[in-house]
């Protein structure tokens, strides 16, 4: 784990996750790599946070109370400019879910359990968007080919 990653590739991160365990694990994973994040517990709070200040990336759980990640994404894409890179974070990685994420306008997708290496690769891509090395819209092409899960269900 490289604690300097956050210094080398700084990003303003918003973490939208309702489950306390997932929140703590993901936040701690970010911390160990030199990042910090603002944490919210539902889509409505994510929308409000994104309206108040600019973020480079939003790690968005798809299923949350009050307003889920998909709806929050739609609102953020309509109202917030420039839009942060929105990364879908979800457990049951079904093909129909990936399509729903794509249709809602999410840019990237990572399946739980989230591995450190995978998270850092994702954040590096967000850094490349921030520095305009790559175009934000080009990220969506990878959603459908993103690995479903590291978890071997059977």
Q: Which residues bind another protein (CB under 8 A)?
A: 1, 18-22, 24-26, 28-29, 32, 61, 63, 90-92, 112-116, 149-151, 153-154
In terms of Cα–Cα distance, which of 93, 109, 118, 113 is closest to 143?
109
Between 33 and 75, name the residue whose CB sits nearer to another protein: 33
The contacts of residue 78 (CB under 8 Å, 6+ apart) are none
Sheet holding 37-40, edge to edge: 37-40, 13-16, 57-61, 85-90, 108-111
Bridge partners of 39?
A: 15
Residue (of 59, 54, 68) closest to 30 by Cα position: 59
Q: Of all helices (H) and strands (E), which one includes residue 32?
A: helix 20-32
Picking from 117, 18, 99, the residue whose alpha carbon sits closest to that of residue 109 is 99
């Amino acid at each position: 784990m490289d604690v300097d990653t956050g210094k080398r590739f700084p990003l303003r991160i918003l973490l939208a996750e309702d489950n306390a365990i997932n929140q703590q694990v993901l936040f701690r994973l970010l911390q160990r790599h030199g990042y910090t994040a603002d944490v919210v517990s539902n889509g409505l709070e994510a929308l409000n946070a994104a309206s108040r200040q600019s973020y480079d990336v939003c790690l968005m759980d798809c299923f949350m109370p009050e307003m889920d990640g998909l709806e929050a994404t739609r609102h953020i894409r309509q109202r917030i400019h420039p839009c942060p890179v929105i990364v879908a974070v979800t457990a049951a990685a079904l093909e129909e879910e990936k399509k729903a994420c794509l249709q809602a306008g999410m840019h990237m997708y990572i399946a739980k359990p989230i591995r450190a290496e995978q998270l850092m690769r994702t954040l590096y891509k967000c850094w490349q968007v921030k520095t305009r090395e790559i175009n934000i819209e080009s990220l969506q092409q990878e959603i459908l080919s993103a690995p479903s899960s590291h978890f071997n269900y059977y």
